[in-house]
Amino acid sequence: MSSIFVALLAFVGFIVAYHTYGRFLADKLFGVDPNRKTPAVEVNDGVDYVPTKKEVLLGHHFTSIAGTGPIVGPAIAIIWGWVPALLWVVFGSIFIGAVHDLGALILSVRNRGSSIGDLSEKVVSRRVKRVFLYIILLALFIVLAVFALVIATIFSLYPESVLAVWLEIPIALWAGYMIYKRGASLWKVGLIAVVLMYATVILGAYVPIRLPDNLPLGMNSVVAWSLLLFLYAYIASVLPVHRLLQPRDYINGHELYIVMALLVIGILVAHPVMVAPGFNFQVPSPSEVGWGGWVHALITAGGVGIQGAPAFIPFLFITIACGAISGFHCMVSSGTTSKQLASEKDARLVGYGAMLLEGALATLVIIACGAAIGLKPGANGLPLGAAAFAEHYSSWASAGGLKATLGAFVDGSAQLIMALGIPRNIAVAIMGVMVASFAATTLDTATRIQRYVITEIGSDLGIASLQNRHAATLLAVGSAAILALQKGGTGGLTLWPLFGATNQLLGALTLLVLTVWLAKQQKAMRYTAVPMVFMLTMTAWALGANLVDFFARGQWHLFVIGAIVTVLEVWMVAESLVHLGAARRRLATEGIGAGG
């Protein structure tokens, strides 16, 4: 099938959804009120609470929620076929992910910018709040440890990206100073900043920077880059948000818009066909493995369609998180974005719209890995077509590796950009910088959110030292660094197998909190309840499959932590359902229907 048709179908769906379903959710379900003062306006402390123009906030929010998630997830999940991956991205974004993000943003804005974890006490109970906060703490702990490795890996694979990524920091500081201190024109400063950034990209293409692996104190390049990145994350987290994070993400947002435009134009020029299979999964039948083996295959994801790949259900919905729904987004919506929203009328653009933009990015990733990768020239100078796809996706082990995943996306995307006459080294530099920049926005935003979470836990436990932003940030960065720097800088991968299901569990639990809130507000619950049930089912299934696998492999640290997360999930769901039932009974007694 032509990739042009695939892109057109998805993009038209996103545009229609934004102007119909998104408008309905914002205006009717959540009752957006432009006259209501937001926390950013009421508090406006110049550090975390800063009223922000919607264009800047959209870029900040978009780049914060995106990171490398909508790249890595679809680039792996396409192993099951491009059709199920695309369907989950499109329908997941419209009906689950964007609802989740917008709802978390509105709920937080209505409660002085509190995090969704903290809000669960007000909506449900204090016990649920504590459970939620500790699950968030674990998820962010893993994110910080792993994304330092992701960026270090990108620097190793694509040294052309190093110079531009680091030089973007002084450019962002200059942009923030000019906009907030000098009152300069937003669009003029933004234009200059983007031009400067792309000048550094071109410079980096000709001046690649590599670190040796025999550094002092026994450090390799991954450890050295990780230490520098954690230092940057600390500084970015404690600085006022408009000094570095906002302008950097604003620049990154425009960088992504430009890259997405280049990819779309490249698709129109090269019009590659989908060389990836449409479907590539198979659950073994009972006659093949016996009923016992078949049940075990379903529970433990043993069914395969390609060597070693887990079963399509439930793991497609766990592998593609960002790009469909991601629990990390609730932390951004209620952790940083709600503190910067200048007016509730901007909520639909920032909350719902940014999620659809992420879905569009995930769609382009599917096309890059499933079609454009086939443009890669072979030894005889002819396109390799399906052979190029098979080269990256011959087995689950090869496709699931970080280097292979990033390589498939960057190689495929570079082919599309090269179709526009741009030299390969610059095309690779453009894509490498984009991936590294987005991973960096995840790292610094996650550090800031982890600081908020630690502060909330400190307040809940009455520990004054944890309520200091420097102490909380040091704890966030220090604990993640200890994990990340193990095993030559790859220590974060120790807990990474838990992240997929845990992250999606956060999304499901956020939808659960939103459902209880809507019931108490006498609003229709079905718009969050149906997605919540679906995601709880998929995450519980995946967690159970993982626990069986961890036990069989003797991975006791993963088994114990996973079991604890599962118990916390059951506890939180049970208590929330009790409160939901009580709310419905109260409304029924008063003669009011909850609408769901």
H helix and E strand count, the chain? 26, 0
Residue 285 lies in a domain: no
For residue range 60-112, list pLDDT tens digits in order.
Answer: 899 888 877 788 889 888 888 899 999 999 999 999 999 999 999 999 999 99
Within a domain: residue 335? Answer: yes
Counting the structural domains of the chain, the total is 1
Burial class (CB in 10 A: 0-12, 13-18, 19+), 464: exposed
List phi, psi (to 5°) of 553. Answer: -90, -5
- Give the range of the structural domain holding residue 474, as residue numbers without chain letter: 3-210+220-271+296-589
Quote the Cα angle for 273-279-281, to 5°.
145
For 184-218, what is the HEC assignment? CCHHHHHHHHHHHHHHHHHHHHHCCCCCCCCCHHH
| CATH, residue 452 | 1.20.1740.10
Q: What predicted TM-score, i.e. pTM, was given to this entire model?
A: 0.87
What is the predicted pLDDT for the residue at 498? 84
For residue 265, tell me if it sits in a domain: yes
Over its C-alpha atoms, the chain yields an Rg (Å, rounded) of 23
Nearest by Cα to 138 from 302, 331, 3: 331
Residues 6+ away with beta carbon under 8 Å from 420: 262, 265, 266, 269
Q: Does residue 276 sit within a domain?
A: no
Element (H, E) at 236: helix 221-238
- Per-residue model confidence (pLDDT) at position 292: 39
Domain contains 286:
no
Does 596 map to a domain?
A: no
In terms of residues, how long is the chain?
Answer: 596
pLDDT < 50 positions in the chain: 283-307, 379-383, 592-596
Cα gap 483→35, rounded to integer Å: 46
Please indicate, yes or no, if residue 318 is contained in any of the structural domains.
yes
Q: 341: helix, coil or strand?
A: strand
**Residue 243 covered by a domain:** yes
Distances (CA, A) of 179 to 170, 172, 337, 471: 14, 11, 19, 30
